[in-house]
Structure 1
Amino acid sequence: MLVRGILPFGVIFIEFFFVLTSIWLNQFYYIVRYLFIALVILIITCAETTIILCYFHLRGEDYNWWWRAYLTAGSSALYLFLYSVFYFFTKLEITKFVSCLLYFGYMLIASYAFFVLTGTIRFYACLWFVWKIYSSLKID
């Protein structure tokens, strides 16, 4: 289940580093255009991976794809949160407890928002795929 989220995380890995640097280290982020391109590639990657996984589930006669399509995004959000923990220990020099709590709280909220975003993308892509597959069936 965790391996399914490595591809969408790999798409935004570099841009996420720059966003974290601009937020927590007070550096300017000038390349918003690349962030938009990374978002588009993330949407395409999420849709393609969930369509492939949904096809394999439907081929194995497992028709409970709804929550599985949505929850596979959780592994991407988990990778995002784990990277933010790694970033905290390698790049930041925060020593106060309240600052640490604030950082991890914000990163938990950001990871949850990423989970909802990718889960919604994956669910609707899978819904569209299932709708297309079953609407093309011809019953005689």
Structure 2
Amino acid sequence: MSGPRRLSRRTLLGGALLGAGATIGLAGTPDAAEAAARGPHAGQLPNPNAPAGTDQIPQITSIVVVMMENHSFDSMLGTLRRGDGLRLDRHGHPRNTNPWPEDSVVPPPFSGAELRSFPMPNPCQVGGHPYNTWKAGHTS
């Protein structure tokens, strides 16, 4: 496996233009126009037959929003079955890998080596600097 592919500016701009063109093209389709006409529109009640302010989903009593960056999510919730986290093998161990860091002080054991996810024995952060970058997480 070779190193990470570099994305050129020309490729990025071409992809952005292609995506914008597809979005504009799809916005004019009859299905999109029908969906926009159906609503809901600003100020429209979700259930016009119920009085304003009526609880439409009484079984939901609380909403909890959890915001995490990727490293924290994978470390804390990544192995739960219902999330979009780590892929597990049949023994419940993570199968995810990352390419061997190009600037690593330890050479790879073989060409195309990858690092597997594994539990850390300690917090493993550079002293006084809890950076959430690949390099900081692998230099301690």
TM tier, smaller: under 0.3
**Larger helix proportion, structure 1 or 2?**
1
**How does the TM-score come out when normalised to structure 1?**
0.26
**Larger strand proportion, structure 1 or 2?**
2
Q: Which has the higher contact order (CA 8 A, sep 6+)?
A: 1
Q: Which structure is larger by alpha-carbon Rg, 1 or 2? A: 2
**How does the TM-score come out when normalised to structure 2?**
0.26
